[in-house]
Amino acid sequence: MSKLVTIYGGSGFIGRYIARRMAKAGWRVRVAVRRPNEAIFVKPYGVVGQVEPVLCNIRDDASVAQVMQGADAVVNCVGILNPVGKNKFDAVQADGAERIARAAAAAGITNLVQISAIGANENSVSDYARTKALGEDAVMTHVPTAVILRPSIVFGPEDQFFNRFASMSRMGPVLPVVGADTKFQPVFVDNVAQAAEMGVLGQADAGIYELGGPRVASFRELMTLMLAVIRRRKLVINVPFFVATLMGFGFDVLQKLSLGLFTNSMITVDQVRNLKNDNVVSDGAKGFADLGIQPTSMETILPEYLWRFRPSGQYDAIKESAKDLRL
């Protein structure tokens, strides 16, 4: 019988690419998610019955252990950008990661991949970065053979970065960003999935890998590149951190007062704290080179999915070619 991998958060942006790769490698894939009925789209990644979404609550010991039964490897992709309800940063990214690692150790599983993030730091003022680091420590404590992946901003067809700002660019003459001079090293989602696959297969040494693409660029430069791809001319305006903090505080309070009716998908105070720090691979850190992976450039991928934000969408190329017609 083929081997089995349980992927917590396997229907998410990064998780689905890992699930697809593991299915292609011949593994059975168990996609552990809160809402299996919304993850049915993962089933065609393999043959009938090869990829199955299952119910799991990462905050519950029994639930986590149950979906890990019989697994040969585990991947944890669960993470949040904005705490909602009981899904707080500590509960999901610190305690949840510890719970998965503890269950893996009890089951004798040595191949565990933890998706973290560049900037993970136990002493960070950002709850996101702090709990990511706590999750890493817990994983390495219970499963010392684990592989921890810290990607920079991840891009791809389903991303919430370039797609979000490309959508915003359709409204008004300006494009506001927080931390225009903050540097990022965007990484293609399938490159991250490839690194995770190597961890599952035992082809990567244990430890932490920081994953960044071939280009380091400021937030402003990334928006300029995105605007060039979608062929729109906008003025990129930097929103000062103190203004963004006030905005984030207001949206955070509104989310709490509305009792969940409003979810802050705009900007949170914690996100502003993160945007004050560069999000690039550290000097001397292990990365793609150590895994033998050549990262894919943004220029290669962005036009493949951002074309829909061009003024004429799918007809933009046709209109351009029509300009050269001579009647």
pLDDT mean for each 10 residues of the chain (327 residues): 94 98 98 96 96 97 97 97 92 97 98 98 96 98 98 97 96 94 98 98 97 98 97 96 96 90 92 96 96 97 96 74 65
Q: Return the pLDDT at 324.
A: 67
Q: How far apart are CA 285 and CA 257, in angstroms?
A: 42
The helix/strand/coil state of 305 is helix
Q: Indicate the pTM of the whole model.
A: 0.94
Q: Return the pLDDT at 313.
A: 75
- State the CB neighbour count (10 A cutoff) for residue 173: 9
Two tokens, residue 106: 């009890």
Fold of 4-155+185-215+278-293: Rossmann fold (3.40.50)
Q: What is the pLDDT of residues 269-281, one digit of tens each?
A: 999 999 999 999 9
Hey, which bits of 26-173 come out as E strands?
28-33, 51-55, 73-76, 112-115, 147-151, 154-155
Q: How far apart are CA 301 and CA 303, in angstroms?
A: 6
Q: Return the pLDDT at 325.
A: 66
Q: What is the pLDDT of residues 207-258, one digit of tens each?
A: 999 999 999 999 999 999 999 999 999 999 999 999 999 999 999 999 999 9
The helix (H) or strand (E) run that includes residue 184 is: strand 183-184
Q: Return the pLDDT at 314.
A: 73
Q: Return the pLDDT at 58.
A: 96
Beta bridge partner(s), residue 84: 87
Q: Which residue, chain included where needed, has tokens 């969408």?
A: 313
Q: Which residue, chain included where needed, has tokens 């890990």?
A: 68
Q: Return the pLDDT at 72.
A: 98
The answer to whether 209 touches 148, Cβ cutoff 8 Å, is yes
Domain segments of the chain: what residues? 4-155+185-215+278-293
- State the CB neighbour count (10 A cutoff) for residue 298: 21
Q: Which of 14, 15, 6, 97 is nearest to 52 (CA)?
A: 6
